[in-house]
Amino acid sequence: MSWEQIIDKYGRIIEKRLEAFLDENVKQANNYHPFIGKIYADIEEFIMRKGKRLAACSTLLVYKGYTGEVDERILNICVAIELYRHAILVHDDLVDLDDTRRGGPSLHKKFMNNYSPYDNRFGEGTAVLAGNIAYALAFRAIIDSGFPQETINKVLRLTCTGYRDVNESQILDLLFEQKDVSVEEWTIMASKRAVSLFKVTLLTGAILANAPESDLPLLEMAAENMGYSFDIQDDIIDSFAKKEEYGRSTCLDISKNKKPLHIIHALNSKEPKKIEALKCLLGKQFLSFGEKDLAKQIIRESGGLETAKQTSKNYSLRAKTLITKTSLTIDVKEFFNNFIHYIEQSLDWYN
């Protein structure tokens, strides 16, 4: 099977368990107050929108790669991973003022639309609290997963660290909108962004499977390289994908004056006129099609795009090498290496 078919197979199993978990929590919330029940139903709709479930599938496959099993306990953990991931997405969308997520409104926008008699502060504030609820539910799913308490404690510590890390990186991401940024600073910020999610997902599966101690640093380094590669690719997609491919407006990072790696490299080029032209576009809230095309042209011609692509490919290569060194089963190694290759290959789609 291809990596996409594997994701589809296990993603459907995870979604069934996730939906049952969320349905039960909607019922409990309704017993407390009907309006809270509505909020939980909104959270469920947001989380259950069709997606790859890559985070939870990664945890499941690492676990399977050491135990040879997919049991009830790991499915409970997969529910937690999806809740954890979506807690991050809810807050990320709110911080970045993004209106859409996976073909529908972001959660704060959904609350604004559904409860329009109330002011925007209600929608935004409720989204903050809903993200907190999703995070709390993730912890509950881990605690009730059925694994030994000592192992659960390790996963809880890992998850706490990952959540703190991603919040720290988001603060830097916001700060970078206000200042010039070096490649070194970007690397520091990105070391706790997607990297933190990949570390949580891969290491959780390994810890729960009692993987060999010698494999843990290999998986941690692989997750780090996968995270960097994914981050660069994701940022390139924002700037260079077509709207119909991306599912939402493009060049949002440019309009918010964000500093993804390809823009940092473009701003470090030796062409002052192009740098100034790009700076004039960064932070402009409403970019015309022509202005978007101009920004992309400058990033291409300055070498920023190609340099960022090559950096992502270098991280991908290191990640594949590290995965191969683990004692995961061959089929699981192939899954991760094929997924990493997809990230690497997809970079060439955007020019």
Looking at domain 1-146, what is its CATH homologous superfamily?
Answer: Farnesyl Diphosphate Synthase (1.10.600.10)
pLDDT of 209 strictly over 80: yes
Segment 116-165, tens digit of pLDDT: 788 889 999 999 999 999 999 999 999 999 999 999 999 999 999 999 99
Contacts of range 91-95, beta carbons closer than 8 Å, 24 or more positions apart: 91/127, 91/128, 91/131, 91/167, 91/170, 92/170, 93/127, 94/124, 94/127, 94/128, 94/131, 95/170, 95/174
**What pLDDT, on the 0 to 100 scale, is given for residue 247?**
62
Under DSSP, is residue 104 helix (H, G, I), strand (E, B) or coil?
Answer: strand
**What pLDDT, on the 0 to 100 scale, is given for residue 244?**
62
pLDDT of 268 strictly over 70: yes
Domains 1-146 and 148-351 share a fold: yes
Give Cα separations from 255 to 78, 259, 287 (angstroms).
Answer: 35, 11, 7
CA distance 223 to 158: 14
State mean pLDDT over 305-330. Answer: 97
CA distance 91 to 174: 13
Q: How many CB atoms lie within 10 A of CB 34?
A: 9
Percent of the chain with pLDDT over 90: 87
CA distance 322 to 250: 33
Q: How many CB atoms lie within 10 A of CB 51?
A: 17
Q: Quick one: which H or E segment has residue 305?
A: helix 304-325
Q: Which CATH number fits domain 148-351: 1.10.600.10, 1.10.357.20, 1.10.760.10, 1.10.10.10?
A: 1.10.600.10
Contact 88, 107 (CB under 8 A): no
**What pLDDT, on the 0 to 100 scale, is given for residue 7?**
97
Q: Tokens 């995870």 belong to which residue?
A: 14
Give the start-to-end residue ranges of the domains of the chain.
Answer: 1-146, 148-351
**What pLDDT, on the 0 to 100 scale, is given for residue 250?**
85
Mean pLDDT of the chain: 95
Segment 30-74, tens digit of pLDDT: 999 999 999 999 999 999 998 899 999 999 999 999 999 999 999
Higher pLDDT, 246 or 25: 25
pLDDT of 245 strictly over 80: no
Which amino acid belongs to residue 333? Answer: K
Contacts of range 267-272, beta carbons closer than 8 Å, 24 or more positions apart: 267/180, 267/304, 268/183, 268/304, 269/302, 269/303, 269/304, 271/301, 271/302
Q: How far apart are the first and last CA of the chain?
A: 30
Segment 285-298, tens digit of pLDDT: 889 999 999 999 99
**What pLDDT, on the 0 to 100 scale, is given for residue 94?**
94
pLDDT of 331 strictly over 90: yes
pLDDT of 249 strictly over 80: no
pLDDT of 343 strictly over 90: yes
